Amino acid sequence: MNIISCFKVVPDEQDITIKPNRDISFEKAPMTISAYDLNCIEAGAQLAEAFEGNLIGVSIGAKKIDDSKLKKNVLSRGPESILMVADDFLEDLDTYQTANALKAAIQKVGEFDLILCGEGSADLYAQQVGAQLGQLLNVPVINSVNKIALMEGKVIVERSLEDEVETIEIPLPAVISVTSDINLPRIPSMKQILAAGKKSATILSALDVGIGDFGATLQVIETKAPEQKERKKDIIQGDSDEAIKSFITKINKVLK
Amino acid sequence: MSDDRFDAIIVGGGIAGTVTAYLLAKEGLEVMLVERGNYSGSKNVTGGRIYSHSLEKIIPDFAQEAPVERKITREKISLMTDDSNVTIDFSSTRLGQQGSDSYSVLRGAFDQWLAGKAEDAGVQMVTGIRVDNLIVREGKVCGIVAGEDEMEANITILADGVNSLLAQKLGYRGELSPHQVAVGVKEIIELPSEVIDDRFNCKDGEGTSWLFAGTPSAGKVGGGFIYTNKASISLGVVCTLCELIKANKTIPQMLEDFKSHPSIEPLLKGGKMIEYSGHLVPEGGLHMVPKIIGDGVLIVGDAAGFCINLGYAVRGMDFAVGSAECAARAVLKAKETKNYSAEFLQCYQSFLDDSFVMKDLKHYKNFPHFLEETPRIFDGYPGMAADMMTDLFVVTGNPPQSMTRMMMKHVKQIGLLNIAKDGWKGVRSL
Ligand SMILES: Cc1cc2nc3c(=O)[nH]c(=O)nc-3n(C[C@H](O)[C@H](O)[C@H](O)COP(=O)(O)OP(=O)(O)OC[C@H]3O[C@@H](n4cnc5c(N)ncnc54)[C@H](O)[C@@H]3O)c2cc1C
């Protein structure tokens, strides 16, 4: 049983800062696993553990995704190995290009039974890549899955729709996008982190997997943070009765 | 090495822990370091300045490579009252000579750099994991417990910081007493580096260390500090725990008041607070050093109480490095003879005794006591200095008084004898 969990590498949103001109700065943000893909990796890990399968993490992106901390983080969450295609023109791709690059990477992995994707990416959340990847690989594809039961040659999945739960049987191989409700991603334990240090990661160039520069179809003109309201910076010092009174008067004025 | 065993396990990825791990891995030992924060430097706090002498010996020219902020070439100390501030300002090319220089640092970046060094040397870094307990068999420490996992080692080194719960669990020390620790809060305030150069009168790449006694800690034992970083200022207040109970303000309020003091506010204008943190500072000096050697275990850095606060200088990081070096030497010796007994590991104590760590701690052993016994430093002298300066500089048009009379008036308020006594006691404790 070969399972592949696809994951995107994104700047850690906790450390993204806004510059005074409202530009968004990634300078201090280390690379991390896109939050929804934590569920995808966990789903893969649970299936692999239950069925003695082999789980591989696959990612494509710019050269900077080849980050030792990040790889160790992924490997401590279950995958036996990682395959990355890292090349600088694999940045700012559209969803179809991403799906194509993933397909090329997956073909290097060889045989697979099940490919898992997250419900969307933490930065763009287009929710397209899983569906397009299935189409490109010419296998069944289903999204919004929040339960997977693996069987011989097939899976039975559940999707929570607005007012019903849909149960679907899909023959393998297949591509499945899972929701963030499917599981609670693990917090890796000491031994899992130690073991991650011994696992392998293969880093390939675009050329290695036979893809060239897709050419940009998207051009980001600007990304701005919403305008912040100027604070009045009216600070009332102390806890005297007067200070409190003046505070209440001011609040009252604004509320009126 | 079998999969479940290391030569050494280090608990805590601060300066003490990473340096110990680095030194051991460099000599080929199998070392694991466990840090509960997501990365080294994410959970610990420092004021801001590392004296380079001890790290320089381990990683020569480290300041060329490490993410240090500014080389400190200007030292200021102030006596501060609510409305005034009297400052001694010392700048000299004698400050900042390699080997005796010092640097402002931000632990987030600095500790991560050190951790990187350790990892390159072969240390297995395990971050985001808290060590919950130690494996102890017949009084011998055999490894660690983290969650469901256990891991064994020939030696375990506790570098888990001032509030070392693990040393406490071993019974090597009790609860920290309020006399032994101070509480520190700190903000990092972002400002463009040219603005810092101008406001603090610094050359590019050079910086100021500035300590304050008086109102920052509400007249209690403690003080305020400012360190200039490249493009930010570290600013904070420290107050001894046992005094804090008596103070009329909380520590966060002290920090707020310090920031809005008329001589501080203009320095911060336009700055943006980017980080707020609080931490304990070991201040008991030699008297608080617990048992630091046991069968299969050594304690280093803050966990061992290796830190001194002299009022005009805080030193913990250079002690962390110094004790790490002694511990690493002891472990290497123990490995040679395969003897990790407390008796054999006493060589750690001798290495410490021969190093600046114990020499300095012994030298300053009475100083923490002196500060505590001399409240006038914090609630008397700042006012006296401000009053004297006022008489000296304020011109009112009233007939002048003789200088001696003018000054003695203020001296008498505290009492000449008291001043002489405090001075004598202070000098003797140094
Ligand atoms: C406000 C303030 C100002 C200071 N100013 C200065 C100064 O200017 N100059 C100076 O030299 N010193 C200064 N010090 C002292 C200095 O910061 C410390 O002495 C130094 O950080 C000690 O290093 P350490 O490695 O021993 O401990 P720490 O840096 O505290 O590191 C301990 C590490 O252990 C980890 N840990 C704890 N428990 C566990 C566990 N159970 N499992 C896993 N990991 C654990 C923590 O997360 C932490 O990373 C200051 C301290 C404070 C608080």
Query: Nearest 5°: phi and psi at A106?
Result: -65, -35
Interacting residues of B49 by C-beta distance below 8 A, sequence separation 6+: B72, B102, B103, B104, B105, B209, B227, B314
Q: Quick one: B237 and B378 in the same domain?
A: no
d(CA B127, CA A190) in angstroms, rounded, equals 8
B91 belongs to a structural domain = no
Q: Which atom of ligand 1 is nearest to the CA of B227?
A: 8
Q: Quick one: B277 and B414 in the same domain?
A: no
Residue after which a domain boundary falls, among B311, B343, B363: B363
- ipTM score over 0.85, yes or no: no
Q: State whether A189 and B128 contact (CB < 8 Å).
A: no
Length of chain A: 256
Average pLDDT over chain B reads 90
B65: CATH: 3.50.50.60
Residue B2 has pLDDT above 70, yes or no: no
Residue after which a domain boundary falls, among B226, B248, B282: B282
CA–centroid distance, A138 to ligand 1, in Å, is 56
Query: Nearest 5°: phi and psi at B145?
Result: -125, 125
| CA-based radius of gyration for chain A | 23
Any chain A CB within 8 A of the CB of B38? no
Residues of chain A neighbouring B39 (CB-CB closer than 8 A)? 69
- Neighbouring C-beta atoms of residue A82, cutoff 10 Å: 23
Q: State whether A190 and B127 contact (CB < 8 Å).
A: no
Q: How many helices (H) and strands (E) does chain A have?
A: 6, 13
Q: Quick one: B330 and B193 in the same domain?
A: no
A235 belongs to a structural domain = no
- Is B307 close to ligand 1, i.e. is its CB under 6 Å away? yes
Any chain B CB within 8 A of the CB of A107? no
A102 belongs to a structural domain = yes
Q: Quick one: B138 and B211 in the same domain?
A: no
Structure tokens, B412: 């008498």
Q: What is the pLDDT of residues B300-334, one digit of tens each?
A: 999 999 998 877 778 999 999 999 999 999 999 99
Q: Quick one: B335 and B381 in the same domain?
A: no
Interacting residues of B91 by C-beta distance below 8 A, sequence separation 6+: B73, B74, B75
Any chain B CB within 8 A of the CB of A191? yes
B257: CATH: 3.30.70
Q: Which of B24, B318, B16 is nearest to B167 (CA)?
A: B16
Q: Are B337 and B155 in contact (CB under 8 A)?
A: no
Residue A153 has pLDDT above 50, yes or no: yes
B75 belongs to a structural domain = no
Q: Which of B279, B189, B297 is nearest to B239 (CA)?
A: B279
d(CA B360, CA A217) in angstroms, rounded, equals 66
A244 belongs to a structural domain = no
pLDDT of residue B3: 59
A250 belongs to a structural domain = no
B96 belongs to a structural domain = no
CA–centroid distance, B115 to ligand 1, in Å, is 14
Least confident of A43-47, A55-59, B161-165: B161-165
Q: To probe the interface with A, which of B129, B133, B265 has the most A CB atoms within 10 Å?
A: B129
Total domains in chain A come to 1
Residues of chain B neighbouring A189 (CB-CB closer than 8 A)? 129, 146-149
Structure tokens, B331: 């472990």
Q: Which of B24, B39, B27 is nearest to B300 (CA)?
A: B24
pLDDT of residue B35: 97
A24 belongs to a structural domain = yes
Angle (nearest 5°) at CA A157 between A151 and A162: 170
Query: Nearest 5°: phi and psi at A90?
Result: -90, 30
CA–centroid distance, B116 to ligand 1, in Å, is 18
Where does residue B416 rank: exposed (0-12), middle (13-18), buried (19+ CB within 10 A)? exposed
Q: Are B77 and B88 in contact (CB under 8 A)?
A: yes
d(CA A75, CA A41) in angstroms, rounded, equals 10
- Is B217 close to ligand 1, i.e. is its CB under 6 Å away? no
Residues of chain B neighbouring A187 (CB-CB closer than 8 A)? 128
Total domains in chain B come to 3
A11 belongs to a structural domain = yes
Structure tokens, A147: 């339960």
A56: CATH: 3.40.50.620
Residue A67 has pLDDT above 90, yes or no: yes
Interacting residues of B144 by C-beta distance below 8 A, sequence separation 6+: B9, B11, B34, B131, B133, B134, B135, B150, B151, B153, B156
Given pLDDT bands bounded at 50, 70 and 90, which one contains residue B66?
very high
Q: Are A225 and A24 in contact (CB under 8 A)?
A: yes
Residue B231 has pLDDT above 60, yes or no: yes
Q: What is the pLDDT of residues B84-143, one digit of tens each?
A: 998 989 988 888 777 789 999 999 899 999 999 999 999 999 999 999 999 999 999 999
Q: State whether B34 and A190 contact (CB < 8 Å).
A: yes
Q: State whether A189 and B149 contact (CB < 8 Å).
A: yes
Residue after which a domain boundary falls, among B282, B317, B343: B282
Least confident of A45-54, A206-215, B103-112: A206-215
Q: Quick one: B258 and B169 in the same domain?
A: no
Higher pLDDT, B411 or A207: A207
Interacting residues of A198 by C-beta distance below 8 A, sequence separation 6+: none
Q: State whether B32 and A191 contact (CB < 8 Å).
A: no
Any chain B CB within 8 A of the CB of A231? no
Q: Quick one: B40 and B17 in the same domain?
A: yes
A123 belongs to a structural domain = yes
Q: Quick one: B298 and B274 in the same domain?
A: no
A122 belongs to a structural domain = yes
Residues of chain B neighbouring A194 (CB-CB closer than 8 A)? 32, 124, 126, 151
pLDDT of residue B304: 95
Best mutation site among B176, B280, B302, B361 for ligand 1 pocket (most ligand atoms within 8 Å of CB): B302
**Could you tell me what percent of chain A has a pLDDT over 70?**
100
Q: Strand, coil or helix: what is A175?
A: strand
Residue A17 has pLDDT above 90, yes or no: no
Q: How far is A63 from chain B (nearest CA, A)?
A: 20
Any chain B CB within 8 A of the CB of A185? no
Any chain A CB within 8 A of the CB of B112? no
Q: Strand, coil or helix: what is A138?
A: coil
Least confident of A198-202, A211-215, B65-69, B112-116: A211-215
Q: Which of A60-74, B236-250, B409-423 has the highest mean pLDDT?
A: A60-74
Q: What is the pLDDT of residues B256-312, one digit of tens each?
A: 999 999 999 999 999 999 999 999 988 888 888 899 999 999 999 999 999 988 777
N-to-C CA span, chain A: 66
- Residue B36 sits in which domain range? 5-69+105-175+287-363
Q: Quick one: B145 and B27 in the same domain?
A: yes
Question: Residue B129 is nearest to which of A69, A190, A197, comparing CB atoms?
Answer: A190
- Is B131 close to ligand 1, i.e. is its CB under 6 Å away? yes
pLDDT of residue B430: 65
- Residue A147 sits in which domain range? 2-209
CA A222 to each of CA A93, A122, A248, B264: distance values in angstroms, whole numbers, following the listed order: 16, 19, 42, 39
Pairs across A and B, CB distance < 8 A: 27
Length of chain B: 430
Residue B422 has pLDDT above 70, yes or no: yes
Q: Quick one: B20 and B117 in the same domain?
A: yes
d(CA B197, CA B207) in angstroms, rounded, equals 8
Q: Are A32 and A10 in contact (CB under 8 A)?
A: yes
Structure tokens, B404: 């001696």
Any chain B CB within 8 A of the CB of A229? no
- Is B144 close to ligand 1, i.e. is its CB under 6 Å away? no
pLDDT of residue B347: 97
pLDDT of residue B1: 45
- Is B283 close to ligand 1, i.e. is its CB under 6 Å away? no
- Is B69 close to ligand 1, i.e. is its CB under 6 Å away? no
- With both helix axes pointing from N to C terminus, report the angle between B356-363 and B317-337 in degrees, rounded to the nearest 10: 130
CA–centroid distance, B162 to ligand 1, in Å, is 7
d(CA A19, CA A12) in angstroms, rounded, equals 17
Q: Quick one: B204 and B258 in the same domain?
A: yes
- Is B315 close to ligand 1, i.e. is its CB under 6 Å away? yes
Q: State whether B124 and A189 contact (CB < 8 Å).
A: no
Q: How far is A191 from chain B (nearest CA, A)?
A: 7
pLDDT of residue A206: 93
**Could you tell me what percent of chain B has a pLDDT over 70?**
99
Q: Is the previous residue joined to A173 through a cis bond, with omega within 30 degrees of 0? A: yes
Q: What is the pLDDT of residues B73-96, one digit of tens each?
A: 999 999 999 999 989 899 888 887
Q: Quick one: B42 and B116 in the same domain?
A: yes
Phi-psi region of B48 (alpha: psi -120 to 50; beta: other; left: phi over 0): left
